[in-house]
Chain A
């Protein structure tokens, strides 16, 4: 089954304790992205990747890191989490950004990771 898999689905942690949220897709997609969802704000892009070893900042990158060493994986790293990073996080992928722009392909989302930082 074609899917985007995120782990963990739920996590409660404390300020300053480094954590990684993994994201993996099995569709050979070039484009991957991380969003955070907060009440009243919709989804905001954190980072995106056009392909292996190509990443760039989205709208809210502060406090996050990413890497894209393999096409299928795009982990989100919180080096020193703070309470304002408490949120629902979504990983998403698409065949390519060009296909996404044209509507030829769509963004496929993972089920989400709910993170609470105390």
Chain B
């Protein structure tokens, strides 16, 4: 079935460092892809999305490109801030009868001043 695999965390970076969080997926169709972020004590919020191959989603300095050939949707940011410390989830929309988003296991990011 459809699935999402994320790199395991935690990822610890210094402020202004470059961030990459890897995400690969397995899907039978052409799903939409999402990155959600969960700040401490809060629910998940949509960070960015891409709905078709080669689309680039971007928001708040974060970017991710829908790569069909490598089935990947890696999250990147050029210069992280302490306020970016959170858990990041990659997800895809299941285009079969599952009627849900399928989430990866989440990657915790800790940014130190």
Contacts and interface: CB of A to CB of B under 8 A. Distances in A.
Interface of A: 4, 31, 33, 35, 40-45, 48, 50, 56, 58-59, 90, 92, 97, 100-103, 106-107, 109-112
Contacts of A90: 43-44
A109 B44 contact: yes
Contact of B43 (A44, A103, A109): A109
A43 B103 contact: yes
B85 interface: no
Contacts, number: 60
13 contacts: A42-B103, A43-B103, A45-B100, A48-B99, A90-B44, A101-B93, A101-B95, A102-B32, A103-B50, A107-B46, A111-B41, A111-B42, A112-B42
B34 interface: yes
Interface string B1-12: 000100000000
Between B49, B89, B100, B101, the greatest number of chain A beta carbons within 10 A of the residue's beta carbon is seen for: B100
Contacts of B94: 101
Given A103-B50, A109-B43, A56 B101 contact: no
Interface residues on B, range: 20 to 34
A96 to B, nearest CB: 10
Interface string B35-52: 010000111111001110
B43 A41 contact: no
Contacts of B49: 103, 106
B105 A41 contact: yes
Contacts of B45: 109
A90 to B, nearest CB: 6
Contacts of A58: 100
A112 B43 contact: yes
Contacts of B43: 4, 90, 109-112
A50 B99 CA distance: 8
B44 A97 contact: no
Contacts of A110: 43
Nearest to B90: A42
Contacts of A4: 43
Given A42-B103, A106-B34, A107-B44, 12 more contacts: A31-B99, A33-B100, A42-B4, A42-B106, A48-B100, A56-B99, A90-B43, A97-B99, A100-B32, A101-B93, A111-B42, A112-B42
